[in-house]
Structure 1
Amino acid sequence: MTAQLNEKAPDFSLLDADGNVFRLQEMSGQRLLLVFYPGDDTPVCTRQLCDYRDGIEVFAELGVTVVGISPDDAESHQRFRARHDLPFVLLSDSDLSVAERYGCKALIGMKRGVFLLDEAQIIRYRHVEAVALFRRRREELVEAIRALG
């Protein structure tokens, strides 16, 4: 079953760009924006994550921590993070097992999706793009986060 709005987010553990294990359950008590994206350094993904980078202060003011998830490995994430000065954690879902649980696994690769989890890890906002060329802009997400209170 895939992750649905107003349900508990499926738990997972993935490696970050520095080789550390990120465990969703350990992030309880924090609001998280999980950003599933198809790949590092691709045009739409780069624009999307740089847009979120440019608004990181707004996300922080709203008490939201941004976490990127793609199939790319740690080395790719390190280069991508450094090249674009990304201030958030990037996780590797190389086998797409987490993407599948969140409804972001495509026939080939990963779909683009964003999930806002509240402090209890309930999904309060969910959007999975039907077409990879589209993305949720920072303003749309900030508006949705503010509407949730």
Structure 2
Amino acid sequence: MLQKGDQVKNFTLQDDHGQEISLSDFRGKKVVVYFYPKDDTPGCTVEACSFRDEHSRFADANTVILGISKDSVEKHEKFKSKYDLPFYLLSDPETTVIKHFGAWGEKKNYGKTYEGIIRSTFILDEVGKVIHTFEKVTTKDHALAVLEEIGKF
């Protein structure tokens, strides 16, 4: 998993409208990159809505939010529309960016072991360097914890 001080390689993924979005589009702003397993599931919805509810505070802090999962552009569009999410949802079906960040790995659920997206969040500075990571995410108040960290920089 990427750690504090690591430089993130530029990447380009499609957003919920099929538009190509690159990390470099946001140079000069802080970027929150959060990885989540699946659109419109209970934990992922709570997490996304926490970012939605605090979105104006992120904007005031010159910070962009990028949510990334393997879900398709079409699923992202439905999820974003259903919950009125005001930030980018990016589709990474090949898991290229997910794996670059180290957000892919072994998971366990109901005694079953499988590979999947590890719910994690990275705060990047204005030039794309990791300034904080969250490897254990509590979905309900996650946006507030991220805002608290951003306030330290």
Kindly indicate whether residue 37 of structure 2 is the aligned counterpart of residue 38 of structure 1.
yes
Supply the AA of the counterpart residue of 1:46: T
Which residue matches 1:97?
96
Please point out which of 140, 145, 149 is paired with 1:140: 145
Distance 1:26 1:141 in 2: 21
8 Å CA contact 1:15, 1:21 repeated in 2: yes
8 Å CA contact 1:96, 1:109 repeated in 2: no
- CA-to-partner distance for each residue in 1:62-88, whole Å, 9 max, x for gaps? 111111101000110010000000001
For structure 2, the residue ranges without an aligned partner over 5 or more in a row are 107-114
Distance 2:130 2:84 in 1: 28
Supply the AA of the counterpart residue of 2:87: F
Which residue matches 2:111?
none
Q: Which runs of 4+ in 1 moved over 6 A?
A: none
Which residue matches 1:109?
116
Mean Cα deviation higher: 105-114 or 33-42: 105-114
Which residue matches 2:27?
28
Distance 2:9 2:98 in 1: 10
For structure 1, the residue ranges without an aligned partner over 5 or more in a row are none
Q: Identity over aligned residues, as a percent?
A: 32
How far the C-alpha of 1:9 sits from its partner, in A, is 1.3
TM-score by length of 1: 0.90
8 Å CA contact 1:103, 1:128 repeated in 2: no
TM-score by length of 2: 0.88
How far the C-alpha of 1:34 sits from its partner, in A, is 0.6
